[in-house]
Structure 1
Amino acid sequence: MTHHRTLKVLGLLSAVCLAAFLAMGVVADSKRIDIEPETGLLKAPMKVYKSDAASGGKCVGTADKIVPQGQECGGTVKVTFTVATSGSYIFWGRAKWLDDCGDSFYVQIDEGQKRVFGEHGTEGQWKWFKLTGAKFNLSAGTHTLYIHGREDGALLDKVILLHESNGYVPQGKSG
């Protein structure tokens, strides 16, 4: 009977730990890291928006038309994540641009270079975009992703970092 109770308690603890990890908004395996930006620390004017079309029912971004055209809107989302397998990672983001003047963010990992993430011509719909021309060389361990506001009216639902050997192309809400 004691053995059965011990297994029940261990099972419950495992479930609680898994639920806590998933609530942090970061799910990882050895070649894929899923990040829900709305679980990160936000600095205004970046904020969380509700969206039934978003993978977790929420997304991050800035309101449209908060700064004059051509001026950066600012704001940041900061999310910590863990890499299990060292290597080169490709950045995918599921984003929605409200108009062609608000279709990009800056992406940065740790203290690395800020890179422009965005694409013209796909306003008004959620779509997966690949950060072109850049890969992130990440060691095993803890890292920090920063999403910096660049243009107002840009929304980000989810980020997936894929080890370059993975070859997967995200699709749908969950990727």
Structure 2
Amino acid sequence: MIVVFLIIAIFGAYSQASGTRIVVQTEHYNSITPSMQVVTDKRATGKYIEIPLRLPHGVKESGPADTGHAEYKINVPKAGLYQFWARCRWYDYAGNSFFILVDAIQVTSKTPFITDETYKKWHWVAGPALQLSAGFHTIRIQNHRDGAKMDQWLFTTAKKNRWQPTRSEKETPQYMVK
């Protein structure tokens, strides 16, 4: 009886952690607008997008210098609550964020963005949990602070407190729309 319970508990935890996962390499965008650019770096998964560091770099947080962005089209297989994660490298406290827009092109005071306080290394940053319908969506990663870099991003139905990426993830081209 105990063995059966353990198997069920382990399987349940695994299925919670697996769920639906949509993984995108940032250089596989549908469109890109300056100052967003693609850069090659072997410490990333090969290439990544970035908002170049502007010099002199600000010593305090300020608004974006432009609307540079990359857009991605995805096909969400089933409706649900999707947690956004991004594998990022931040320059410093004034170069550590991107706006995340879903099916929108205008940044407003309610536009979510990702940020944290881990600098100078590639790491996963939790973003917003978003209710997505099944079907096609346009994801826009947009300039929020200069010096910010992003290697991959993903949506998962696994809850943030149940699963967190720890290394680069395998891209899922079946969900990408060309």
Give TM class, smaller chain: 0.7 to 0.9
| Gap runs ≥5 in structure 2 | 1-17, 171-178
Q: What SS does the corresponding residue of 1:38 show, helix, strand or coil?
A: coil
TM-score (norm 1): 0.74
How many residues of Structure 1 are paired with residues of Structure 2 in the alignment? 143
* Residue deviations 1:77-122 (CA, integer Å, cap 9, x gap): 10001111210000000000122210001001112852121112x1
Percent identity reads: 25
C-alpha distance in 1 between matches for 2:80 and 2:87: 22
Contact 1:46 1:76 in 2 (8 A): yes
C-alpha distance in 2 between matches for 1:67 and 1:114: 27
CA RMSD across the alignment: 2.2
Change in Cα spacing, 1:165 to 1:111, as seen in structure 2 (3 Å) is: same
Q: What SS does the corresponding residue of 2:44 show, helix, strand or coil?
A: coil
Counterpart code for 1:58: K
C-alpha distance in 1 between matches for 2:154 and 2:69: 18
| Gap runs ≥5 in structure 1 | 1-28
TM-score (norm 2): 0.73
Structure 1 residue 171 and structure 2 residue 166: aligned?
Answer: yes
- Report 1 or 2 for greater relative contact order, CA contacts < 8 Å, sequence distance ≥ 6: 2
Spell out the pairing of 1:114-133 with structure 2 (5 A cutoff): 114-120=111-117, 122-131=118-127
Aligned to 1:12: none
Contact 1:72 1:150 in 2 (8 A): yes
C-alpha distance in 2 between matches for 1:97 and 1:103: 5
Runs of at least 4 residues of structure 1 off by over 6 A? none
